A and B are shown apart, each in its own frame.
Chain A
Amino acid sequence: MNLIRISKRDDLPKKKEIVIRILAILLSILFSGVIIMMFGLNPAEIFRSIIEGAVGTPTRIRQTILTAVPLTITSLGIIVAFKMKFWNIGAEGQITMGALGATVIALFLPESVPAPLKLLLMLLASMLFGGVWAFIPAIFKAKMGTNETIFTLMLNYIAIKFVTYLQYGPWKDPNSGGFPRIAYYPDNALLPSLFGVHIGWIIAIICVAFVYLFINYTKKGYEITVVGESLETARYAGMNISQIIVTAMFISGGMCGVVGMIQAAGIEKTLVAPIANNYGFTAIITAWLSRLNAVACLFVCIAFAMLTQGGAYIQIALGVPSAVASVVQGTVLFFVLGSEFFLQYRVSLARRAAQAKKEVA
């Protein structure tokens, strides 16, 4: 009958945990290597090229950082919500709305406003817009118990379609020669650069520190964790759960909104409908991979950005199909996420047909 028995692990020595994780990465390299060979390619060359493509030249390093920045900040925003077990999968929409908020300031504030002030206002507007977009599902969840998953997901489309409408309709740039796009930001609304990369990277590092301190060293962060762990306990401790949910979500959405501002003012130089570029969904993966730890999140996102950039590079440089890059990425994810299962459960062969579905009765 049941030849394999699965039981939950209670505690795992740190050593064993590291071994399992390293094993997962090695296995993923091995497996993707086999698949690459099936394509008739040399795995060693592909792996080398991926690394080369990610960090081979200063330009490529810059590109990798540009990918890592929005991913990191979005992941951090998601971590704040996920800590509370509020499944915010609406980061796409929050990023889009944040970009919209920044654009309102960028385009409609007089050109004479000095750049630092304008950028600060854009930052605040993006936080506000992103925050409000997350606040809506939060208040409904807090007051009426609606399901946040479907709610945040749907809000994504509303945000994106609304920006599309602006792009094709009222905000269409008359000077674009009929091309449906919104006017480019004036120069004083663009993110300045530091060391060749726009200052979004500084914002990302500040955000890492902020989320780390917020979750671990503030009362609000503590409340969020308690609400996430046990709603009843929070209630019995006299916490104002509605207010905690709403605040945490406002912060979560606000951070995602900042991503929108960085992408609009640093990369696109205007507002476009696909501004979120799937970062909102990819960040869910990276948030989980970092086990909701802000500092780990930074490194996970950098690694992820390297994989993305390296994957793009091998397509161009080696002329291999984009599927190869996706396969490598997918295999790595499969093994790393799969190893979580072995970290939490013990799998053993049962000597006899033993039904161990329940723990000790």
Chain B
Amino acid sequence: MAFFEGKQMTAGYGDGPDIISSCTINANRGEIVAILGPNGAGKSTAMKAMLGLLNLKSGNVILDGKDISSASPQDRVKYGISFVPQTRNVFAELTVRENLEIGGFLRTDGVQKMIDSIYELFPILGEKKSQVVGQLSGGQRQQVALGRALMSEPSVLMLDEPTAGVSPIVMDELFEHIVKVKKTDVAIIMVEQNAKQALNISDRGYVLVTGQNKFEGSGDELLNDPEVRRSFLGG
């Protein structure tokens, strides 16, 4: 059984129609899993359901063999699930260091050691530690966002379009960082629009269409699958 798994999830917003139905996504530690699909396929919704930001109508979410379907998002943070939203994913008015301190808010053993290891992972953050995050570039902000999420030493990291709105060069850099994070034995689930690049660094991928699993497989399998290529990767 996978370390973190959303099983047969069905969910929607409020009383509206189901956005995802019987959708299953899982990830193991030290693995990058990409969720792909066209606009409106329910990628972000699937991720929100796994985070507890949406109530499941059916199905369940399991972390390390424990059913956490009814836990609040805050409790899931405590259990080791960390999330980087697509927008507004940093505290723009706070300094880099303060962002990291807040990321480690629930730590009881002090934050200094973890902050040092984040600076090691993202050297630029160490250089700019007393700068207000609102003044940083897009790529640097995304590193702050990743750093903040890693401060709680999560076992699962969920990223909602980490490369949205950054230049191709920064995008490559960010993907490199994500691979570095994966090597620290974290399960990473990310929703991505840049499907090709995302699959290149992913161990596995899911393609969702209208809220259901359409294809799944290793990154290479999906990249080479003619049908996936035709419909999502642009030939």
Question: Are A and B physically bound partners?
Answer: no
